[in-house]
Amino acid sequence: MKRVYVYRNKSEQNGKVVALEDTMETLKSQISKHFEESVENLRLFSRNGCEIDDVRVIRDEEKIYLNINDDADSKSCDNLTQSIQNLDLSGSSKQSQPVTDWITLNVGGKHFTTSRSTLLAKEPMSMLARMFADENNMYLMTPSATDSVGAYLIDRSPEYFEPILNYLRHGDVILDKNVNPKGVMEEAVFYGIDSMIPQLNILIEQSKSACGINHALTRMDVVRSIIMTPTTWELRFQGVNLSEADLNRLDLRYINFKYACLSRCNLSGANLSHCCLERADLSHANLEGAQLLGIKASCANMEGANLKGCNMEDPVGSTTVMEGVNLKGANLEGSNMAGVNLRVATLKNANLQNCDLRDAVLAGADLECCDLSGSDLHKANLRGANLKDAAFELMLTPLHMSQTIR
């Protein structure tokens, strides 16, 4: 059986334990017998000074008073509705607030302003919708405290909340480049935006697939690797994607670029001496003025590359090996290629004007439509080379008849 403690006032003297009856009239009748008070004049008050008009607001073992102070009726009390709110029967303090069409949210310190219909329309069962759903023009649940400008405080990430708010506006999941879809997924689950989750799952899978793609390294990545690698160690960029990277004027000596992608890379003025460029892709790369002493570039792809003014002659005597290289349409004007090995290389339509090709090995090379005007071919090996439609004006050294032209 439920019971209450009844006192004359808050001094809690002359108290009685009374059974909690089903009706207010029965309870008052029982209390009037114990305290010798007439039922008509009997008034009951809660601890916070509010008058009790309904037995349902009295909890088990609660203290109630005939007078809130020593002098009866010295303080006016709120009506029943306010009393119920102050007693907090539901276990949480709720303050009703008039509904407005525009709502400002303070999410993690960043303000977002949106309409109430945006929060309610697409996901009516979400947490945000329940926060601002209304009944009789009053919010059913106050979402949280407000800041100094009246924005509702939500302790979550603003970076991930913005895509959620935009989704509620137009129905599409659109993420900026640096926004992690996994983070947005966590927030979507937190807010209960269920219809957003399938689209986010697709983006997460796409993000996982993109991780497997060989993204191009930047100049800073290469410089950092060079700085961190001891000079006694071999620095390897085998198979690395460096396409379109700006590596001009860097000291890249002895680096292993085998199978690397250097397409359209800017290597002008760089020192690539003694590098391994076997089967590397240097198509349309800019190597103007680069140092290529003793490089190993067998079967490399240098189609359309700019090698104007390059130096390939090593005074120490190490040979630059470019056997089988593809130099179709490349510009090698004015390059020092003395002693270079270009056996069976493809130089169709290449510009070889004013090149130093002394002692160069061009046996079996395809020199069709090449411009060799002004080049020095002294002791060059052109045996079996294809010189169809090649230009030889202003040759410094005449070709020997033994150097057969196909």
Q: Which of 378, 322, 313, 320 is nearest to 350 (CA)?
A: 322
Report yes or no on 327 lying in a domain.
Answer: yes
pLDDT score of 211: 58
Same domain, 128 and 178: yes
Scan for tokens 């525009």, then name that residue: 102
Same domain, 206 and 234: no
Report yes or no on 96 lying in a domain.
Answer: no
Cα–Cα distance measured from residue 113 to residue 162, given in angstroms and rounded to the nearest whole number: 11
Report yes or no on 11 lying in a domain.
Answer: yes
Same domain, 160 and 107: yes
Report yes or no on 354 lying in a domain.
Answer: yes
Structure tokens at 309: 């003014």
pLDDT tens across the length of the chain (406 residues): 677 888 877 777 778 888 877 788 888 888 888 877 787 778 888 776 778 877 777 877 788 888 755 544 434 444 444 544 544 444 444 444 445 678 899 999 999 999 988 988 888 888 888 888 765 544 555 567 888 888 889 999 999 999 999 999 988 898 988 889 999 999 999 999 999 999 999 988 887 766 555 577 889 999 999 999 888 888 999 999 999 999 999 999 999 999 999 999 999 999 999 999 999 999 999 999 999 999 999 999 999 999 999 999 988 889 999 999 999 999 999 999 999 999 999 999 999 999 999 999 999 999 999 999 999 998 999 999 999 999 888 665 555 434 444 3
Q: Are 188 and 197 in contact (CB under 8 A)?
A: yes
CATH number of the domain that 188 lies in?
A: 3.30.710.10
**CA angle, residues 222, 228, 230, in degrees to nearest 5:** 115
Scan for tokens 């009390």, then name that residue: 77
Same domain, 406 and 296: yes
Report yes or no on 51 lying in a domain.
Answer: yes
pLDDT score of 235: 93
Cα–Cα distance measured from residue 243 to residue 223, given in angstroms and rounded to the nearest whole number: 16
Report yes or no on 93 lying in a domain.
Answer: no
pLDDT score of 178: 84
Final residue belonging to a domain, choices 159, 191, 211: 211
Same domain, 220 and 207: no
Q: Which of 133, 111, 126, 132 is nearest to 188 (CA)?
A: 126
Q: Are 336 and 357 in contact (CB under 8 A)?
A: no
Region of residue 195 (phi > 0: left; psi between -120 and 50: alpha; otherwise: beta): alpha
Same domain, 373 and 287: yes
Same domain, 204 and 112: yes
Report yes or no on 92 lying in a domain.
Answer: no
Same domain, 201 and 224: no
Q: How many domains does the chain have?
A: 3
Same domain, 279 and 147: no
Q: Are 40 and 15 in contact (CB under 8 A)?
A: no
pLDDT score of 300: 97
Determine the structural domain holding residue 396 and report its residue range.
215-406
